[in-house]
Homo-oligomer: A and B are copies of this chain.
Amino acid sequence: MMDERQAVAAFAALGQEHRLRIVRQLVTAGPEGMAAGMLAEAVGVSGTNLSFHLKELSHSGLVTSRREGRSIIYSAAYLDLSELIQFLMRDCCQGRPEVCAPAVAALSACCEETA
């Protein structure tokens, strides 16, 4: 279960243009992930800079990495992302589901839009 410190770190990591692009790119890429080099091109940052941001994101638990040959493949940490969302909305709306129903609907729709 996510605690406040982790959540702050995760949100701070997402609160930066390039890092948010990186995470969204990886979320879109699916569980297989992407190599660092392709990510740098897709996001539009230098290799050095990407490395810095990926380190930050790894440390926040939002992305994971594995080596494949001479490339390093990064993927979105879907489970941690969902825990982050849950942390933010926990105990919401004082038992009035209609208040946060839009959030539930928005997230439910995310997997169907691409189908």
C-beta contact mask, A23-66 vs B, less than 8 Å → 1, else 0? 11001111100000000000000000000000000000000000
Chain A binding surface, main DSSP class: helix
> Nearest Cβ distance between residue A110 and chain B, in whole angstroms?
5
Q: Is the CB of A94 within 8 A of B28?
A: yes
Q: Name the CB-closest residue of B to A105.
A: B82
The count of residues in chain A whose C-beta lies closer than 8 Å to any C-beta of chain B is: 57
> What is the bound-complex CA distance between A114 and B97, given in angstroms?
10
Q: Is the CB of A15 within 8 A of B17?
A: no
The 5 closest A-B pairs by CB, nearest first: A12-B15, A82-B103, A30-B94, A86-B106, A11-B15
* Interface residue? A71 (CB, 8 A): no
Q: Is the CB of A92 within 8 A of B16?
A: no
Q: Is the CB of A107 within 8 A of B86?
A: yes
> Nearest Cβ distance between residue A75 and chain B, in whole angstroms?
10
Q: For chain A residues 73-111, which have a beta carbon within 8 Å of chain B?
A: 76, 78-79, 81-83, 85-97, 99-111
